Amino acid sequence: MHVLFVCTGNVCRSPTAERLAVAYAEELGITDLTAESAGTRAAVGRPMEPTAAQVLEGLGGDPSDFTARMLTADLAADADLVLTMTERQREKVLALAPEQLKKTFTLKEAARLAEASDAKTVADLASARPQHKSDGTPEDISDPIGKDEETFLNVGSEIAELLGVIARSIRV
């Protein structure tokens, strides 16, 4: 399974998710998972934001050799699963790759659907959407850029928790 994580600048949330997904896959013995990330307004060529990189390391991920890049239609189309940090980013992915509707979720939405429906595949997640609708609260993970270290830690921990739910249940 190839997972694409999307945020805005591609220096905090999506690289954290990308690198944690790889670490979790290794820990769980999942050998067929690949992950990458991109930003809707990426700081192209930049490494991870230093505080985000520190938090990632503390959570068991490796920030080394990361380079931010821009979301493209090809990146979105090539993914088996696209996980965005906000609903607006999900909309941007679908504007570029509308055929990915059944494979594109916010990270919070995917974790909620996986738990509510006992989904095992990406197709199960898509099938669960009509039966397990959101309560209307935005399913967004807030952007920590420009905030204090505690905010970065809270955001990183939230991403880690949500990824844990997905990693334990979803396969291609």
Residues in the chain, overall count = 172
Options 7, 12, 19, 112, the catalytic residue: 7
Instruction: Measure the CA–CA gap between 26 and 133, rounded to whole angstroms.
Output: 32
Residue type, 29: G
Instruction: Look up 41 and say whether it is catalytic.
Output: no
β partners of residue 35: 3
Task: Tell me the residue type at 103.
Answer: K
- The answer to whether 15 and 63 are in contact (CB under 8 A) is yes
> What is the residue type of 58?
G
H/E stretch holding 34 = strand 34-39
74 among known catalytic residues: no
Catalytic residue among 41, 118, 148, 168: 118
Backbone angles phi, psi at 100, to 5 degrees: -95, 10
Over its C-alpha atoms, the chain yields an Rg (Å, rounded) of: 15
State yes or no: is 13 an active-site residue: yes
Which residue is catalytic, options 13, 19, 90, 112?
Answer: 13
Give the residue numbers annotated as catalytic, written as ranges: 7, 13, 118
